[in-house]
Amino acid sequence: MAENNIKFRIKRKFKATTDSRHDHPVADNLLNRNFEQTAPNRVWASDITYIRTCQGWLYLAIVIDLFSRMIVGWAFSSRINSQLTVDALEMAVARR
């Protein structure tokens, strides 16, 4: 393997980033899965995903305008915390 510069990778255990077992209040579902909108900047949706890099995990939060389907705000961080989502929302507000 060394002669042919072949290396192996160890598959890492899945890391859960969501804990649904809590007593915190849950927000009402105001959209009721109605994602079709009639005007821009009336309804935004958001999500967080993670990207594996050589230096570790990188977290990406995005805010999307459901009318235009354009990403209007985003933020990257090496930590998944509330500041990540606040930064993405602040960018969206500043851009729109």
Helices (H) and strands (E) in the chain, counts: 1, 3
- Please determine, for residue 14, whether its predicted confidence score (pLDDT) is greater than 90: no
Q: The domain containing residue 59 runs over which residues?
A: 44-95
In a domain, 5, yes or no: no
Q: What is the pTM of this model?
A: 0.71
Q: What are 70's two structure tokens? A: 């354009």
- Are 63 and 79 in contact by the 8 Å Cβ rule? The answer is no
In a domain, 31, yes or no: no
Residue written as tokens 């960018």?
91
In a domain, 72, yes or no: yes
In a domain, 58, yes or no: yes
In a domain, 20, yes or no: no
CB-based burial label for 60 (10 Å; 0-12, 13-18, 19+): middle
Number of domains in the chain: 1
Banded model confidence at residue 90, pLDDT cuts 50, 70, 90 = very high
Say if strands 70-77 and 56-65 run parallel, antiparallel, or are unpaired. antiparallel
In a domain, 4, yes or no: no
